[in-house]
Amino acid sequence: MPVEFALAARYLLGLGRRTHVATVTAISLVGLTLGVLALVVTLALLEGFQSTIRGELVRLSAHARVSAASGRLLGDPDGLARRLQESLGDATVEEVVTGSCLVAGPGGTVPARLVGRSDVEGVAADRVLAARLAVGPGDTVRVLSPRTRLTPLGPVPVRAGLEIGEVIPREPGAGEGGVLVAPLAVVQRILWGRPAVEALELRDPADPWHLAARVREALGDRRGSLRVEGIGDLHRPLFLALALERAMLFLAVGLMLVVAALNLLCNVAMVAAGKRRDLAVLSGLGMAPARVRRLFLGLGVMIGAAATALGAGLGAGLAMVLDRTGALPLPRGVFAVTAVPFRVQPVTVAVVMVFSLILATLAAWLPARTVARREPAEGLRYE
């Protein structure tokens, strides 16, 4: 080990003999440790909630969607579905058609999104729509299509009566309006009057996040005329909001680390002032200014590294214990989980540690640079 780092370690270990410096160093250490701990726990909490949301998305939403690049109906949807089913093996491929409609029930008439799916047998209303219409399983609603048919009285909207089979949870990111899901043939008749298919929706619970890439590969030469969206594309606003939330929280809690780093700066400056004579002697013995700078930089980085390791270890441990014990319960029926979820991601912890170390290095750099610029005789004159 270079002598300047060995000396920095000795200074750190020998601080216990000097009460005031030891106290300030302990405060710096505790401050940085708490900052790292808070950041690790906060990000684990956020990741816990966000992974729950992602899990719900995977459970309820399509993992990939194939539609016509022109925005029109799909040509030869059955052929395309067969081709994808053969190529993708375990993935399920469903034909889908969607459109806007008015739905009337005992609670009134509300606009809704009508979804027809080939894998659905009964009619289902999501919770929002069921609540607005004041309907439940067994009730009948009337659907008014934007499509008209010609009658002796002139064009009138196509209407259909549908019996609600079940009320389903809302898909995350579904927007404000209600959703009515019905068998594909029923919706095709209401919206188009013919077997039109707007898109194919695919699901592969084993690998939902890469399904779109596999679909693109499977489409081969037909790729140009089709639009393939993955689960990330289908819920882009939601994912952007989650990413923004993550970044803002990192910045906000990261400010704690900045404050702790400023405290470290004061600590290193204080040690430098206390060691003024030693530094003059070290210079007198031939230690070059760059090495003097490294000595104090090493001192700050050692404090920073110790605090970072301690904070990261304690933070990750605390988050894991809280997650496994379910120590922070949530009201049943309100959230998808029964306790506050924590999820420690090694990459996130590594980012926090690097951030903390960079701040500690910057905090130590300023006093270290100032010390190294002094003429050695200055330190001796003050004695």
Partner 1 sequence: MSDPMVRLEGVCKGYGEGERRVEVLRDLDMEIGRGEMVAVVGPSGVGKSTLLHLIGLLDRPDAGSIELDGVPVASLGPAERAALRNRLIGFVFQFHYLLDELDARDNVALPLRIGGRSRREARERAGALLERVGLSGRAHHYPDELSGGEQQRVAVARALAMGPGILLADEPTGNLDRESAEKVFSLIRELHLKEGLTSVIVTHNEGLASRCDRVVRLDPASTVTHV
Would you count residue 303 as binding partner 1 (CB under 8 A)?
no
Tell me the C-alpha distance between 36 and 62, whole Å. 38
Would you count residue 270 as binding partner 1 (CB under 8 A)?
no
199-203 vs 64-68, strand pairing mode: antiparallel
Out of 163, 277, 338, 358, the residue judged to bind partner 1 by CB under 8 A = 277
Q: What single letter denotes the amino acid at residue 67?
A: S
Out of 17, 89, 333, 347, the residue judged to bind partner 1 by CB under 8 A = 17
Out of 163, 236, 377, 382, the residue judged to bind partner 1 by CB under 8 A = 377
Cβ atoms of 298 and 368 closer than 8 Å: no
Site string for partner 1, 201-220 (x = CB under 8 A): --------------------
Q: Which is nearer to partner 1, 1 or 153 (CB)?
A: 1
Out of 283, 308, 348, 356, the residue judged to bind partner 1 by CB under 8 A = 283
Joined together, the tokens standing for residue 153 give 């009285």
Phi-psi region of 71 (alpha: psi -120 to 50; beta: other; left: phi over 0): left
Would you count residue 157 as binding partner 1 (CB under 8 A)?
no
Q: Which is nearer to partner 1, 56 or 278 (CB)?
A: 278
Q: Strand (E) positions, the chain?
A: 64-68, 92-105, 108-117, 123-126, 140-151, 154-168, 178-183, 199-203, 226-230
Would you count residue 273 as binding partner 1 (CB under 8 A)?
no
Would you count residue 342 as binding partner 1 (CB under 8 A)?
no
Would you count residue 160 as binding partner 1 (CB under 8 A)?
no
Tell me the C-alpha distance between 22 and 36, whole Å. 21
Render the burial of 283-308: b for 16+ CB within 10 Å, e for the rest: beeebebebbbbbbbbbbbbbbbebb
* Smallest separation, CB 276 to partner 1 (Å): 11
By the criterion CB under 8 A, which residues form the site for partner 1? 3, 6-7, 10-11, 13-14, 17, 277-278, 280-291, 375-377, 380-381, 383
